[in-house]
A = this chain, B = another copy of it.
Amino acid sequence: MNIREVAKKARVSTATVSRTINEPEKVNPRTAERVRKVIEQLNFYPNTHARTLVSGRSRILGLIISDITNPFFPELVKSFEDQAVTHGREIIIGNTDYDPKRMAGCIRRMVERKVDGVAIMTSETDPQLLAELARRSIPTVLLDTAPAGPRSLTLSIDYAQGIHEAVDHLLALNHRRIAFIAGPLHLQSARARQSAFISRLQSRGITVEEDLMQTGDHRIEGGTLAMENLLKLKQRPSAVIASNDLTAIGALGVIFEAGLRVPDDISLVGFDDISFARLTQPPLTTVRVSRSDLAVTAFTALEKLVKNDADIGDETNRSELIATHLVERRSTRAI
């Protein structure tokens, strides 16, 4: 069943059926109504592939993430998908698994399926691959990565803002020995959090002890190891800020098993506000990075990029900042 059958049954040409579907305002209301009836009656769905083939637009958007089982991403994916459904678009999701080879595969799939645009929400991206997209002039929205050529835009998470709030919060609670468990430092996003921590403390006149600076991997295990180191210190910290919630959860386990209590013995702050952060015991004070903000901003920007055939040029900002804020729960307390 196809557009010709509909046309025949409605006694119009296929062009009129096509117009009724795509540009109803250009069709006589009565004709349109008749066509619509037939479409309904025949339960006709236009073939998107034929449509894409001739028009060059697929109404598909690509969404590339690191790993859907990383709790940072499901909410992002969901909000992005909600936007897509609302705007009559399909999305194709690619998991890179933090592997550049898989990332290349993802991009290839996106190109093959002729996506109208791609949102790359992973924290590191090979500029070569971005060049590939730019060469085909596929609109791209990036996260924490320099935009690659025209029709490309970057979203930056305001890590500093959140870390500053976290530091100030602990300072206000009279903490002075504050440790930091960083993420993997090859990531720009991890370094941004670490340096925000250091600079804020210094600007408040506190020198950061080397021992109090640990490095994790943004996973539970890294938090576990780092916290073990911290507890071995002669003078342990009274508070710890972790570069993300998973790290904080790892730290929490260690503290608990050492017979210490949060927040009574040690205050703990996370980062991201994944959904489990409010379910830990005690609920975790953390910096929220709104995944729905991120998704909506990314989608909206991408949609705008897709609509403009030309470069976005100077008229638009090439970068947008995503706010972050401290959410106080029960893992921090005054000393």
Interface SS, A side: helix
Interface: A105 (CB within 8 A): yes
Using A47-B53, A92-B92 as known contacts, say yes or no to A69 and B78 having CB atoms under 8 A apart: yes
Interface: A161 (CB within 8 A): no
Interface: A200 (CB within 8 A): no
Within 8 A of B (CB), among A41-80: 45-50, 52-53, 58, 67-69, 73-75, 77-78
Question: In the complex the two chains form, is A77's CB within 8 Å of B68's CB?
Answer: yes
Question: In the complex the two chains form, is A85's CB within 8 Å of B105's CB?
Answer: yes
Within 8 A of B (CB), among A85-116: 85, 90-93, 95, 102, 105, 108-109, 111-114
The docked-state distance in angstroms from the alpha carbon of A275 to that of B108 is 31
Question: In the complex the two chains form, is B75's CB within 8 Å of A69's CB?
Answer: yes
Interface: A220 (CB within 8 A): yes
Question: In the complex the two chains form, is A111's CB within 8 Å of B45's CB?
Answer: yes
Residue total for A at the interface (Cβ-Cβ under 8 A)? 42
Within 8 A of B (CB), among A12-39: none
Question: In the complex the two chains form, is B281's CB within 8 Å of A253's CB?
Answer: yes
Using A112-B48, A114-B48 as known contacts, say yes or no to A78 and B68 having CB atoms under 8 A apart: yes
Query: Which residue of the partner chain, among B46, B91, B92, B109, contacts A112 with CB atoms under 8 Å?
Result: B46
Measured CB to CB, the nearest residue on chain B to A108 is: B45
Question: In the complex the two chains form, is B53's CB within 8 Å of A81's CB?
Answer: no
The docked-state distance in angstroms from the alpha carbon of A276 to that of B53 is 45
Measured CB to CB, the nearest residue on chain B to A43 is: B132
Interface: A233 (CB within 8 A): no
**Complex contacts, A53 vs chain B, CB 8 Å:** 47, 49-50, 53
Question: In the complex the two chains form, is A90's CB within 8 Å of B90's CB?
Answer: no
The docked-state distance in angstroms from the alpha carbon of A249 to that of B283 is 13
A-side residues, CB < 8 A to B, are 45-50, 52-53, 58, 67-69, 73-75, 77-78, 81, 85, 90-93, 95, 102, 105, 108-109, 111-114, 220, 249, 252-253, 256, 275-276, 279-281
Nearest 7 A-B pairs (CB), nearest first? Answer: A49-B49, A49-B52, A69-B74, A68-B74, A49-B53, A281-B281, A45-B112
**What are 29 residue pairs bridging A and B, where the CB atoms are less than 8 Å apart in the complex?**
A45-B111, A45-B112, A47-B53, A47-B114, A48-B49, A48-B114, A49-B50, A49-B52, A49-B114, A50-B53, A67-B78, A68-B77, A69-B78, A69-B275, A73-B74, A81-B95, A85-B102, A85-B105, A90-B113, A91-B92, A92-B92, A220-B279, A249-B279, A253-B279, A253-B281, A276-B279, A279-B280, A280-B281, A281-B281
